[in-house]
Amino acid sequence: MGRYWLGIDIGGTFTDFTLYDTVTHGVTGLKVPSTPPDFAQAVEHGLDALAGEHRIDLREIDVAVHGTTIAVNTLIQRTGARLGLLVTEGFRDVLEIQRLRLPNPLDMNGGRPEPLIPRARVAEVRERLRADGRVDTALDEAGVATSARRLADEGAEGLVISLIHAYRDPSHERRARAVAAAAAPGVPVSTSHEVWPEAREYERTALAVLDAYVQPKVRRYLEGFEAALRARAVPAVAHVTKSNGGIMPVAAARRQTVATLLSGPASGVIGAAYVAGAAGLGNLITLDVGGTSADIAVVEDGRPRSSTAEQIGGIPVMMPVVGVTAIGAGGGSVAWVDEVGVPKVGPQSTGANPGPACYGRGGKEATLSDAFVVSGFLDPERFLGGRMPLDRSLAEEAIRRYADPLGMGVNEAAESVVRVAVSNMYAAFTKILSRAGIDQRDFALVAFGGAGPLVGSLLAREVGIPTVFVPRSPGTLCALGAITADILNDAVRTVHGRLDALDLRALAREQRALEADLLAWVQEHGVQVASTSFRHGADMRYVGQSYEIEVPVDPSSFEAGEAAGLLRAFHTAHERVFGHADPHAPAEIVNLRVQLRGVRPRVPLVEVAAGTGAVPTGARRIWLDGRPAQARVYERASLGRGDRVAGPAIVEQPDTTVLVPEGDVADVDRFGNLLIKREA
Amino acid sequence: MRLDALTLELLRNYLHGAVEDMAYAVERTAHTTFVKETADFTCGLLNPSGEFFAYPVELGVASMAGINYARTIELAGPLGHGDVIITNDPYSSLAAATHLPDLHLVRPIFWEGRLVGHGAGFLHCSDIGGMVPASISPRASEIFQEGLRLPPKKLFIGGTVNRDLLDVILANCRIPEQNWGDLQALVAGLVTGERRIHALIQRFGIDVVEKGMDDLIDYTARKVEALIRRMPRGTFEFTDYIEDDVVTDIPIRLKVAMTVGDGLIHLDFTGSDVQVGSALNVPTGGRAHPFMAIALFNYFITKDPGIPLNAGVLRPIRMTLPVGSVVNPQFPAACGVRYATVLRIYDAVLGALARALPGEIPAASGGQGCMVALALPDLEAGRRHVTVIEPMIGGGGARPGKDGIDGCDASLGFLKTTPAETLESEVPAIVVRRFHLVADSAGPGRWRGGHAVRLDLQVFRPEGQVTARGMERLRFQPWGVAGGKAGATGRVVLNPGTPGERAVPKIDLLALAPGDVLSIRTPGGGGHGEPLERPAGQVLADVHAGLVTPAHARDAYGVVVTGGATTTDGTVPTDGAIVTGGAIDSGAAIDESATAALRGERRASATAPPGAFDFGAARDAHERRWPSDLQDSFVALLMALPLPYRAYVRRELYPRVTALAERQPVTAGDLARLWQELAAASSLPASLVDPPPPASGQPLLRKESRT
C-alpha cells in the first residue's frame, strides 16, 4: 500500500491538487494555473511541485482521481469531432426536430440548440425494427457502406449509428457498425445502444453523438495524464470522476467519455456530502457560489439527488447524473438600474476579465463582489489570503455610479446589491425545493465557493433553512469528493410493459444480465474495490401516464414471480412524489435499472484541537440590515473545537470568507467546520 | 409607484418564487398526463379586484396573465376563508374562461379577517362532457354541445367541498376521478399561494405587500408603455384568414387596425367576421382580452425580457371588439377551438406590427396547432382508445437576422413531440414511417422561413380513425414579409408513393384501412427580406443539407447550383421527398457567373414593390374577387342584421357575390342588389341594413377611455 491519495480538479483557470496522507491524515493543497489546450501539462507541473516543494515521494501515491472539464468545455465551445450520423430511414431530422419544444417560447428570436452534427452529414439507412424487436425492414448493408464511405470522404472523423428500437434489439446497429467500419477504415464507429440503451430516439441519439463528439479530446487528454503519471513512476491506477457522483478507471473513461461531462459539479456535491456526513448531517442543500454562477444541489440521507432529465448546453443527458442547477448569480454578477428606476443584479456577469471593479483590471461596472468590499464583508488586503489585493476606492466608485439613479448613499447602495442578489437566489431556491417536493426545515445549507459563505446565512434566513454548514476547507471539496467517491456504474434496459402482463422471470433474467455486464466492466478495467454491491430499480408509471418514477426493486421477488411488493412500493412512491396514488389502476414498467457500487476506503477527516475560546484578530465596520456595525474578525485557522463565534462577525481564510450576521452564532465542530444557527 | 424601488425588486423576486412554487405544486400533483405534458394550466396571485399581480413563467400558459376575474368574484357572492370559486363559462365569467374544458378556480386570501387578494388559476381538463370525448368538436354550433357549463359558483365553502355541486360536475364528465384529482391539484397550488402571501406579509408587513400588488402591475405597465413610446405613431391595418369555418368553406376574416398613440395601443377588430356557426369563436366579453394581443406581448417580452408578466401587460392596450363578431361572440355561440382563431389573430396583429415597424418583425409561421390523434378499438375497455400521435405546428416565420425555426413557432413553442419509440411501444399496431423536415417548404427570403414537418403513420389494425383538430393553412400560405416569400401550404396524402396515393382534404375524421399510410405535412414559415439578397453560400448550404433542391435554389433564389443535383443512389430528389442515403452530394457548387446573371435578370424584371408582403397565389386570388372594401361592406352588412340571421345571410350571400366576382369586379351597389334579392327570396326586410353602417370604428385613444 502506498501512502498518499491524490485528488486533482482541473478547471478552466486553475488546477487544484489535494493530497491526502494516510499516515498522518493530513491534507496538502496546491493550486497551479491550468494549461489549455494541453491540460495534462498542469498535472505535470503540479506533480513536480509536490515532489519538489512539498517533498512528496510520488512513487507512494496509491490512488489518483481527477475531475475534468475537458468534455464540457469541448461541448460549450463546440470544438469537438467532425462526425457523420447514420439513422433509420424517415428520421433524418432526429437531431434537428429534437422534441420540438423551444427553451423559451416567449422569445421571438429564440430557437432550439444547434445540433452537433449538421443535417448535411446525416444519412438515412433503409432498415426498420418494430417495438418488440421484430424485423420490419431488413438492413440495407450496401446503403450503409455507401453512406459510410461518402461521410468519410467528406471528412467525418467518426461515425455514429443510431437506429430506431436499437435499445430493444441491437443486431441492426451491430451489423451496420461492422459494415461501416469496413467501408470507412480508420474512422471510429460507435452505436447508440452501446452508449446508453434506453428508449426515446432523440435523447438516445443525442447522447451517443455527444459521446463521440467529445471523445477524441478527452482521450488525448487522458493519454497525456497517464503518461505524466508513468513518467514520474506514480504507481496508482488513474481514475476519473463521473457525472453520477462516482468514479471510474481511466480505461473505462475512454469508452464512456460522455459520463465525465458533469464530473466537476458532481465532485463538489460528493465532497460536501462527505464532510457534512462526517459531521452528522445527511439532508443538505449545497450552494457553491463562484464568480459567474451559483450551483445548487440537493442531498438526501447523504445521497445526492440523481436526475435523468439534465441538460448540458441544451442537450438532454438521459443517463443518471447528480442533479445540479446553475443560476446566473456570482461575485461577478453586474448590478444595474433599469429604465423604470428599479435595481437589478445579473444575469450579466463581468466574468474573470475584466472582473469586478475592485479587481483593478479596468472593470467599471458594479458587481456583487464590489458590494461585498464596500459593505466591509471582504478585506481588500486579505482577499485570497492576501495574494490578490482589491481596490476599495474603485469598488466605491462603481457602486456610486450604480446608485446614482436610486438616490442612495454608497453603503445603502452596496447593501441593496447584496439583498437583490440574495432575493434572486431565494427565487431560484424556491423553485428547486418546490420541484423536489422537500421541506427546507429538515435540511442544512452547505455553503462553499468564494462567495457562498458570505451569502449563506442571509439566504438561509430568507428561505427558512435553520442551519448553515461551512466546511473547514471549502476550496478542496471537489478534489476531496474525487478521492472519497465510490466506483459507480449504471446500466439500463427498456422493457416497457404492464406489470400484470410481463414475464417476471424474464425480468429477473434481464436484471442478472445487467449485473453480469457491470461485473464484466469491473473486471475488464481492473477496478480495485473493497466490495461491490448492486442497487436495482424500475422506472414505473400508471398506464397512460407519460412520466416515470424510479422504484427500488428486490431482485429476488422477480425470481419468485412475485410483483405485489413492487406494486405496493410504486403506489407509495407515487403518493410521496405526486401527493396521490390509485391502487386500482394498472401500472407498467418502462425501464429496469441496476447500479453497481464499488466501495472504496474512506478518507478519515482530521480533527482539530480543542479551542480555548475564539479570539478575534481585529474588528471592522460592516454595513448590514440598514446600519453600520462593528464586526469581530477571526482567523479560521485559529478556531478550535467547541469555539463559538457570535455575530456580527467575519471569519477569514485563504479560500473563502464567512459572514456571521448579528443574531447568529457559529459553532466549531470537531473537524473544524462551522455550524451557523440563529442564536437561541 | 408607492414603494421604494429596492423593496419593489425584493418583493418581485419573492413573489416570482411564490408563483413558481404554486405552479410546481399543481404540475407535480395533477393527475392527467395532459396537464404535465402540454402544461395547459396556470396558477398565480390576484389583487382583491381580480387582476394578476404575480404570474408564473417557467411553467404553464403565458398568455393568460391579462385575464380578469372581477366578474367571476362578483357573481360568486360574499367570500369567506376557505371558499373556492369554480367557473368554466365564457359568458357569465366575462371571458375569464374562454372554453369549457378550462376549469378556473379562485380562492380568496385573508389577513386578520380582511381580504388581501386571491389565488387563481385554471387547468385544461381532458373532458367536461358534451357531444364528443375530450369535449372539443369544431362542429359544435352551440356551447350546450360542448359540455357542462359552470357559472361562477363555490366548489368549496369554508374549506369544505360543496358535495352537491361536485357530484353534478363529476356526473357530467367522462373521466370524473381524474378531473377531481386535477381540481385538487389546483386547489393545492392555491393553498400554497396563501401560505406564501402570509409569509410575505410577516416578512414585509401588510402595508408593503398591498402597495406592492399595485406597484408590480404599475411597473409592468410602465415598461410596456416605454416600449410603445419607441414605436412610430399611426394606424396600421392587417387582415388574415381562417380558411373556412368548418360548416362552410367561407374564410373567416380577421381584420385589425392597430393605432399606436402615446404609450397606448388601440386594437380595433371592426371588419372582422361575424360570429360563426362552428366552435371557432373567441369569447372576449367585449373588453380588452389577452388572447387578442399575444403577438404584442411576445414582441414586448422579446424587446425587454425583464418585464414581469401580470395584468400590467394589458393596461396600455385598448380594444374594439364588435358585439356578435367572431372576436366577441354572443351566447350561446360555441367556442371549443377558439385557439385556432387566436393563432390567426396572432398573425393579424403581427402583420400590423410589421407595417408599423418595417423590417423588424418576423414573417407568419405555420399558424396551426394541429393535434393528430388516432382512435383504435380497445377490446378490454370496450370502446375506442385515443392516442395523441404528435402535435403538428409548421415552420416558424423568418426573423430579421435569423432563419425561421424548423417545424415549430414561438406561439406554440411549449408543445412537445412523443418519441416514435414510445408511441410504437404503447400502440403496437402502428409504425411511424417518417417524421422529418420537408425540403423546399420554407418561405424564401434573405432570411428563410422554418421548414415544414412531415409525419407518415402506418396503421395495421382495422377501424382506425384519425382526427386532426386545428389543421390550417392548407390553402392560404403563411405570408412573407419585407420582400420575403410565403411558405408552402400544408397537405394530407393517403398512401404516398404507391399506386393508391390520393390527396385528402383537411381532416375532420378520417377512417383508415389496415396497412394505410397517412402522410401529413404542415405549412412552412414565411420568409423575411428579398430572396435575391440571400447570400448564395447560404443557399448552397441548404442544398448540401438537402433542405433546398437545386431547382428550388434556382427558382426561388436565383442561385445556379451545379454538380450535385443527384443523391448518392442516383435519383433526383423531387418534391422534397427524402431518398434513402438522402444527403445530396456535397460536391454541389455555385455557378457564380450564371447566378450573377440570373439574379440580375430577376432584379430587373421584379414586379412586386420592394419590401412588400407576399400572401401567396390562393389568397391573392381570393382578394381579387373579394377586395378589402367589398369585405368591409359585406361584414358591415352582416353586422347590421339581427344576430340570428347573420350566419344564414353569410352562407347564402357569399357564394352569390363570389359567382358574380368570377365575371366582374363587384361594387357596393352590386352587393346591395344581391342582398335585396336574397332578402326578397327569404322574406327578410331589406331595410334591416339601410343605411349601411360605417366601414370601421374610430380608434379610442384617450387615456381615460375604457373599452
For residue range A399-454, list pLDDT tens digits in order.
999 999 999 999 999 999 999 999 999 999 988 888 887 889 999 999 998 899 99
Q: Rounded CA gap, B286 and B707, in Å?
A: 8
Q: Provide the chain B residues 554-573 that lie in CB contact (below 8 A) with chain A.
A: 568-569
Letter string b/e over residues A88-112, b meaning 16 or more CB atoms within 10 A of that residue's CB: bbbbbbbbbbbebbbebbbebebbb
Query: Smallest Cα–Cα separation from B641: which of B694, B680, B693?
Result: B693
pLDDT digits (tens, 9 = 90+) for B141-190: 999 999 999 999 999 999 999 999 999 999 999 888 888 989 999 999 99
Of A565, A599, A633, the position where a domain reaches its end is: A599
Q: Could you tell me if A539 and A448 lie in one domain?
A: no
Residue B286 falls inside a structural domain: no
Cβ burial A298-314 (10 Å sphere, 16+ → b, else e): bbeeeebbbbbebebee
Q: Tell me if chain B has a CB within 8 Å of the CB of A576.
A: no
Interchain CB distance below 8 Å, A90 and B418:
no
Across the range B283-291, mean pLDDT stands at: 97
Evaluate if residue B118 carries a pLDDT over 60.
yes
Lateral strand order in the sheet of A618-624: A618-624, A627-635, A649-653, A656-660
**Beta strands of A203-357 (E only): which ranges?**
237-241, 247-249, 284-289, 294-300, 303-304, 306-307, 310-312, 315-317, 321-322, 324-327, 333-337, 343-349
Judgement on whether residues B123 and B192 belong to the same structural domain of the protein? yes
For residue A164, the chain B residues in CB contact (below 8 A) are 420-421
Min Cα distance A680 → chain B (Å) is 20
**Contact criterion met (CB below 8 Å) for B529 and B364:** no
Are A347 and A367 in a shared domain? yes
For residues A434 and A296, what is the distance between their CA atoms, to the nearest angstrom?
Answer: 14
Percent of chain A with pLDDT over 90: 68
Per-residue pLDDT tens digits for A183-194 = 999 999 999 999
Closest CA of chain A from B93, distance in Å? 27
- C-alpha A63, offset from chain centre: 22
The answer to whether B509 and B467 have CB atoms below 8 angstroms apart is yes
> In this structure, are A146 and A247 located in the same domain?
no
CA–CA gap between residue A212 and residue A221 (Å, rounded): 15
Q: Does A128 touch chain B (CB under 8 A)?
A: yes
pLDDT at B690: 59
Residue B527 lies in a domain: yes
Statement to judge: residues A445 and A512 lie in one domain: no
Residue B194 phi/psi, 5-degree rounding, is -65, -45
Inform me whether the pLDDT recorded for B403 exceeds 90: yes
Note whether residue B570 is domain-resident.
yes
- A chain contacts of residue B411, beta-carbon cutoff 8 Å: 105
Disruptive mutation site among A119, A204, A417 for chain B (greatest number of B CBs within 10 Å): A119
Read off φ and ψ for residue B400, nearest 5 degrees: -65, 115
Task: Tell me how many domains chain A contains.
Answer: 5
* Structural domain that includes position B679: 617-689
Q: Calculate mean pLDDT across residues A591-619.
A: 91
Last residue of a domain, one of A264, A295, A327: A264
Q: Are residues B97 and B171 in the same domain?
A: yes
Q: Which residues in B lie closer than 8 A to residue A578 (C-beta atoms)? A: 28-29
Tell whether B366 is within 8 A of chain A (Cβ). no
Give B491 to chain A, closest Cα distance, Å.
Answer: 18
B86 and B158 share one domain: yes
Helix (H, G, I), strand (E, B) or coil at A497: strand
Domain boundary pick from B198, B222, B246:
B222
Cell numbers at A352, concatenated: 474573470
Least CB–CB distance from B402: residue in A109, A128, A406:
A109
Indicate whether B661 belongs to any domain. yes
Mean pLDDT of the A139-145 span: 97
Amino acid at B500: G
What gap in Å lies between CA A401 and CA B222, rounded to an integer?
A: 24
Return the pLDDT at B579.
39
Domain of A446, CATH number, reads 3.30.420.40
State how far the Cα of B560 lies from the Cα of A44, in Å rounded to an integer.
Answer: 56
- Residues in A closer than 8 angstroms to B6, CB to CB, are 343, 406, 416, 419-420
The per-residue b/e assignment along A197-226, b for 16 or more CB within 10 angstroms, e otherwise, is bbbbbbbbbbbbbbbbbbbbbbbebbebbb
CB-closest option in B6, B407, B581 to A416: B6
Question: CB burial class (10 A; 0-12, 13-18, 19+) of residue B114?
Answer: exposed
Same domain? For B36 and B107 the reply is yes
A437 dihedral zone (left: phi>0; alpha: psi -120 to 50; beta)? left
In terms of Cα–Cα distance, which of A319, A564, A571, A330 is closest to A454?
A330
| CB–CB contact A96 B417 (8 Å) | no
Does B10 touch chain A if contact means CB atoms closer than 8 Å?
Answer: yes
Question: Are A471 and A359 in the same domain?
Answer: yes
A310 — alpha (psi -120 to 50), left (phi > 0) or beta? beta
Residues A322 and A438 grouped into a single domain: yes
Contacts of range A378-385, beta carbons closer than 8 Å, 24 or more positions apart: A378/A454, A378/A657, A379/A620, A379/A633, A379/A650, A379/A652, A379/A657, A382/A652, A384/A654, A384/A655, A385/A653, A385/A654, A385/A655
Which residues on B lie below 8 Å from A545 (Cβ)?
33
Query: Among A170, A219, A228, A167, which residue's Cα sits nearest to residue A198?
Result: A167
Q: Are residues B505 and B392 in the same domain?
A: yes
Q: Which residues of A are less than 8 Å from B297 in CB distance?
A: 106
DSSP-assigned letters across all residues of A412-428: HHHHHHHHHHHHHHHHH
Q: Is residue B218 over pLDDT 80?
A: yes
Please say if the pLDDT value at position B469 is more than 80: yes
- In tens, the pLDDT along A22-74 reads 888 888 888 888 887 788 899 999 999 999 988 999 999 988 998 888 888 89
Do B573 and B657 share a structural domain?
no
- Residues A102/B408, Cβ–Cβ less than 8 Å: yes
The verdict on a CB contact (< 8 Å) between B28 and A578 is yes
Residue A605 lies in a domain: no
Contact between B20 and A147 using a beta-carbon 8 Å cutoff: no
Q: Which residues of A touch B436 (CB under 8 A)?
A: 90-93, 97
Q: What is the pLDDT of residue B27?
A: 85
Contacts A434 to B, Cβ<8 Å: 20-21, 24-25, 28
Measured between alpha carbons, how far is residue B420 from residues A311, A388, B614 in Å?
A: 21, 56, 36
For residues A424 and A400, state if they share a domain: yes
Taken as a whole, chain B contains a residue count of 707
Average pLDDT over residues B279-303: 96
Give the mean pLDDT of A228-238.
Answer: 91
One-letter amino acid of B700: L
| Same domain, yes or no: B414 and B448 | yes
Model pLDDT, residue A106: 85
Q: Name the pairing type of β-strands A306-307 and A321-322.
A: antiparallel
Interface touch B402/A430, C-beta < 8 Å: no
Fill in the amino acid letter for A460: A
pLDDT of residue B696: 45
Q: Is the pLDDT of residue B472 over 60?
A: yes
Whether residues A438 and A571 share a domain: the answer is no
What distance in Å separates residue A270's CA from the closest CA in chain B? Answer: 27
Is residue B422 less than 8 Å (CB to CB) from chain A? yes
pLDDT confidence of B585, banded at 50, 70, 90? low
In chain A, which among 199-258 make CB contacts under 8 A with chain B?
A: 199-203
Supply A545's cell numbers: 401516464
The string of pLDDT tens digits covering residues B319-365 is 999 999 999 999 999 999 999 999 999 999 999 999 999 999 999 99
All cell numbers assigned to B265:
395601443
Tell me the sheet residues that pair with A536.
A594
Percent of chain B with pLDDT over 70: 93
Q: Does B38 touch chain A (CB under 8 A)?
A: no
Which ipTM score applies to this complex?
A: 0.92
In chain B, which residues have their Cβ closer than 8 Å to the Cβ of A165?
421, 424
Name the minimum distance, in Å, from the CA of A282 to any CA of chain B.
Answer: 24
Residue B40 lies in a domain: yes
A91 contacts chain B (CB < 8 A): yes
From CA B644, how far away is CA A179, in angstroms rounded? 71
What pLDDT, on the 0 to 100 scale, is given for residue B586? Answer: 63
pLDDT at B578 over 60: no
**B397 vs A522 pLDDT, higher one:** B397
H or E stretch covering A118? none
Query: Where among A467, A485, A503 does a domain terminate?
Result: A485
CA dihedral B682, B688, B689, B693 (to 10 degrees): -150
Which residues are CB-neighbours of A276 under 8 A, at least 6 positions away?
A282, A284, A299, A444, A446, A469, A471, A673
Rounded CA separation A11/B342 (Å)? 50
Cross-chain Cβ contact B410/A107 below 8 Å: yes
In this structure, the answer to whether residues A519 and A581 fall within a common structural domain is: yes
Structural domain including A149 reads 79-209
If asked whether residues A148 and A166 sit together in one domain, one would say yes
Query: How many structural domains does chain B have?
Result: 3
Judging by beta carbons within 10 Å of its beta carbon (0-12, 13-18, 19+), is residue B628 exposed, middle or buried? middle
Provide mean pLDDT across the span A321-335. Answer: 90
Q: Name the residue of chain A whose CA is nearest to B304's CA.
A: A107
Q: Give yes or no: residues A480 and A492 share one domain.
A: no
**What residues contact residue B432 under an 8 Å CB cut-off, 6+ apart?**
A90, B389, B420, B423, B424, B455, B456, B457, B458
Q: Which amino acid is at B78?
A: P
Mean pLDDT rounded to a whole number for chain B: 91
Same domain, B36 and B152: yes
Last residue of a domain, one of B546, B580, B604: B604
d(CA B524, CA B420): 22
Closest-CA residue to B490 (of B502, B504, B500): B504
Sign of CA dihedral B192, B196, B199, B205: negative
The answer to whether A353 contacts chain B (CB < 8 Å) is no
> Is B570's pLDDT higher than 50?
no
CATH number at residue A530: 3.30.1490
| A130 interaction partners in chain B (CB closer than 8 Å) | 424, 428, 431
Residue A642 CA, distance from chain mean position: 33
Q: CB distance B428–A132 less than 8 Å?
A: yes
- Separation between Cα atoms, residue B35 and residue B42, nearest integer Å: 10
Which amino acid is present at B612? A
Q: Is there a contact between A102 and B405 if contact means CB atoms under 8 Å apart? A: yes
Cα A665 from Cα B5, distance rounded (Å): 32
Closest CA to B504 of B336, B342, B372: B372
Is B435 in Cβ contact with A91 (below 8 Å)? yes
Residue A608: inside a domain = no
Do B92 and B153 meet the contact criterion of CB atoms below 8 Å apart? no
Report yes or no: B9 at the A interface, CB cutoff 8 Å: yes
Which three cell numbers mark B429? 399496431
- Chain B interface test: which of A136, A169, A340, A440 (most B C-beta within 10 Å): A340
pLDDT band at B704 (very low <50, low <70, confident <90, very high): very low
The count of C-alpha atoms lying within 13 angstroms of the C-alpha of B99, restricted to the half-sphere facing its C-beta, is 32
CB contact under 8 A, A92 and B582: yes
Q: Specify the pLDDT at position B59.
A: 84
Cβ density class B8-35: b for 16+ within 10 Å, e for less: bbbbbbbbbbbbbbbbbbbbbbbbbbbb
Range A221-225 contact pairs with CB under 8 angstroms and sequence separation of 24 or more: A221/A39, A221/A40, A221/A68, A221/A70, A222/A250, A222/A253, A222/A254, A224/A38, A224/A39, A224/A40, A224/A41, A224/A43, A225/A40, A225/A43, A225/A66, A225/A250
Q: Which three cell numbers, joined as nine digits, stand for B701?
A: 385613444
Contact residues on chain B for A88, CB-CB shorter than 8 A: none
Average pLDDT of chain A to the nearest whole number = 92
Q: Is residue B163 part of a domain?
A: yes
**B447 or B26, which is more confident:** B447
Between B691 and B464, residue with greater pLDDT = B464
Q: For cell 452547505, name the residue.
A: A446
